């Protein structure tokens, strides 16, 4: 093998090494840019408040920006939730997203007493007044005696969760890079107010 051939092979190997190094650096730059965008989005989500609004003038709804965490980050920053998920015999590495919603239900009760009823306890006859009120979302039944009131309140709810994802655009084309991700939660129960919402998307490395 001549000297010129050796030089040409050496140059080719050097160029291949440079190309591989550049490709690796380019891949690393893309990873760092994606991490930067993710951290920026998480910072904005953590600093923003839950937006509450109404649907159909009677239903309470809330909107929140999503957090994007890796499995390790989720196990670190949401340790209690991660442990609860493990108790459900689910592996955290199989998670795709986790939603948490806090709500309260306040109902103004108004009922017309029913006919007097008679309770027999330990062979003792006690007169009592029965009350009932309710609608499609709750039922309240109670019995009032001279000494005490006993009753039962049954509340029903139905939550609609809708995730929206906005992608970045290059000129007129939509790319696969996510610009913004948020979750809308609507309670179909008009008595329910949504106090807080958290939407965590588990990122795969």
Boundaries of every domain in the chain: 1-47, 50-68+97-205
pTM of the model: 0.67
User: Assign residue 152 a region: left if phi > 0, alpha if psi is -120 to 50, beta otherwise?
Assistant: beta
- Residue 115: predicted pLDDT: 64
Cβ-in-10-Å burial (0-12, 13-18, 19+) of 24 comes to exposed
- Residue 153: predicted pLDDT: 92
- Residue 119: predicted pLDDT: 60
- Residue 121: predicted pLDDT: 66
The CA–CA distances, whole Å, from 12 to 4, 7, 8, 60, 200 equal 12, 9, 6, 67, 48
Contact predicate 100/117, CB 8 Å: no
What is the distance between the alpha carbons of residues 16 and 194, in angstroms, rounded to a whole number?
A: 59
What is the distance between the alpha carbons of residues 100 and 197, in angstroms, rounded to a whole number?
A: 6
pLDDT digit string (tens) for the chain, length 205 residues: 666 677 777 777 778 888 888 877 777 777 777 777 777 776 777 777 788 888 887 888 998 888 888 888 888 888 888 888 888 777 777 778 888 888 999 888 888 777 676 666 666 677 788 888 999 999 999 888 877 888 999 999 999 988 888 888 877 777 877 788 888 999 999 999 999 898 888 887 6
Q: Which two tokens stand for residue 115?
A: 């006919």
Query: What distance lies between CA 96 and its chain's CA centroid?
Result: 11
Report the 10 Å Cβ neighbour count for 81: 17
Q: Which two tokens stand for residue 13?
A: 């190997």
- Counting Cα atoms < 13 Å in the Cβ hemisphere of 168 gives 7
What residues are paired with 193 via a beta bridge? Answer: 104
- Residue 156: predicted pLDDT: 93
- Residue 205: predicted pLDDT: 62
Q: Which two tokens stand for residue 174?
A: 């939509």
- Residue 120: predicted pLDDT: 65
- Residue 188: predicted pLDDT: 92
- Residue 148: predicted pLDDT: 83
For residue 66, give the DSSP letter: P
Contact predicate 184/63, CB 8 Å: yes
């Amino acid at each position: 093998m001549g000297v010129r051939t050796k030089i040409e092979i050496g140059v080719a190997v050097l160029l291949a090494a440079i190309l591989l190094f550049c490709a690796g650096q380019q891949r690393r730059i893309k990873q760092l840019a994606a991490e930067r965008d993710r951290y920026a989005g998480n910072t904005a989500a953590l600093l923003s408040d839950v937006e509450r609004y109404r649907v159909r003038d009677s239903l309470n709804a809330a909107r929140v920006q999503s957090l994007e965490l890796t499995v390790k980050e989720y196990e670190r920053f949401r340790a209690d939730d991660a442990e609860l998920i493990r108790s459900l015999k689910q592996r955290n590495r199989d998670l795709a997203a986790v939603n948490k919603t806090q709500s309260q239900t306040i109902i103004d009760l108004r009922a017309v007493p029913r006919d007097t009823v008679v309770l027999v306890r330990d062979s003792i006859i006690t007169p009592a007044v029965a009350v009932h009120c309710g609608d499609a979302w709750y039922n309240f039944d109670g019995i009032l005696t001279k000494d005490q009131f006993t009753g039962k309140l049954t509340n029903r709810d139905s939550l609609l969760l809708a995730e929206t994802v906005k992608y970045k655009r290059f000129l007129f084309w939509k790319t696969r890079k996510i610009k913004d991700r948020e979750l809308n939660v609507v309670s179909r129960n008009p008595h329910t107010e949504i106090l807080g919402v958290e939407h965590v998307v588990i990122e795969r490395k």
